[in-house]
Amino acid sequence: MRWRILIMPFAWPCACRRHVQSAEGYADNAAMPAPPVFKPAHDAIAGCDLCVAPGGVLVWSQADWRVIRVDDAAHPAFYRVVCNRHVREFSDLAPAERRRCMDLVCAIERVLIDKLTPTKINIAALGNMVPHLHWHVIARFEWDSHFPNPVWGDKLRDPLPSPMQRLAMTTEQLDTAVIAALSTC
Ligand SMILES: [Zn+2]
């Protein structure tokens, strides 16, 4: 159900939030690269949400894979590595594709560790709701609303200050770091 809730038209966070965060001490990131433009696959399958839309904030994209950030206020450091074509199981990928996928997952994981010092990184591939194989890469904190449960489990608390205020940087700055790491994969 979470995935269905999060499938939404492509949209970057408004500048207002960045201004608020700047007022709290974050630095504006004037060097933030232009967001990639999502292009539906030429073999897009009718009726598939992830063939016609990125499925979140599109951060990075190449022919076979894309990376989106889940627009989730409770878990703001939450990325997905999504296969652009329909693949059901990880073992359905060719060996080189599996390695490529894991290189992308590891690059994001390392950025989250280095930039945010989370309590734990959660990585998972469920894919029960969509036909595009994808890996979730989520920075978890002992103060977050669900920890130590999975983000799909029972909520345990309402953290204050908010998760966004607790992050060491804005999500836009985090995206920039993720893009830089992926560019070297
Ligand atoms: Zn599809």
Higher pLDDT, 145 or 25: 145
Taking the centre of ligand 1 as the mean of its atom positions, its distance from the CA of residue 59, in whole angstroms, is 18
Taking the centre of ligand 1 as the mean of its atom positions, its distance from the CA of residue 93, in whole angstroms, is 16
| Total domains, the chain | 1
Contact between residue 150 and residue 111 where contact means Cβ atoms under 8 Å apart = no
Which residue in 165, 119, 163 sits closest to 25, CA to CA?
165
Taking the centre of ligand 1 as the mean of its atom positions, its distance from the CA of residue 178, in whole angstroms, is 24
| DSSP letter assigned to residue 91 | G
Give the domain extent around 69: 2-182
Taking the centre of ligand 1 as the mean of its atom positions, its distance from the CA of residue 110, in whole angstroms, is 28
Residue with tokens 């897009």: 44
Q: In this predicted model, what pLDDT tens digit does every residue of 47-76 receive, in sequence order?
A: 899 999 999 999 999 999 999 999 999 999
Residue with tokens 């469920």: 126
Q: In this predicted model, what pLDDT tens digit does every residue of 153-170 receive, in sequence order?
A: 999 999 999 999 999 999
Taking the centre of ligand 1 as the mean of its atom positions, its distance from the CA of residue 84, in whole angstroms, is 7
Domain CATH code at residue 168: 3.30.428.10
95-116 and 171-182 are packed helices; what angle lies between their axes, rounded to 10 degrees?
140
Q: In this predicted model, what pLDDT tens digit does every residue of 95-154 receive, in sequence order?
A: 999 999 999 999 999 999 999 999 999 999 999 999 999 999 999 999 999 999 999 999
Examine the pLDDT at 28 and tell me if it is beyond 60. Answer: no
**Banded pLDDT at 174 (limits 50, 70, 90):** very high
Taking the centre of ligand 1 as the mean of its atom positions, its distance from the CA of residue 109, in whole angstroms, is 25
Contact between residue 53 and residue 7 where contact means Cβ atoms under 8 Å apart = yes
Contact between residue 10 and residue 61 where contact means Cβ atoms under 8 Å apart = no
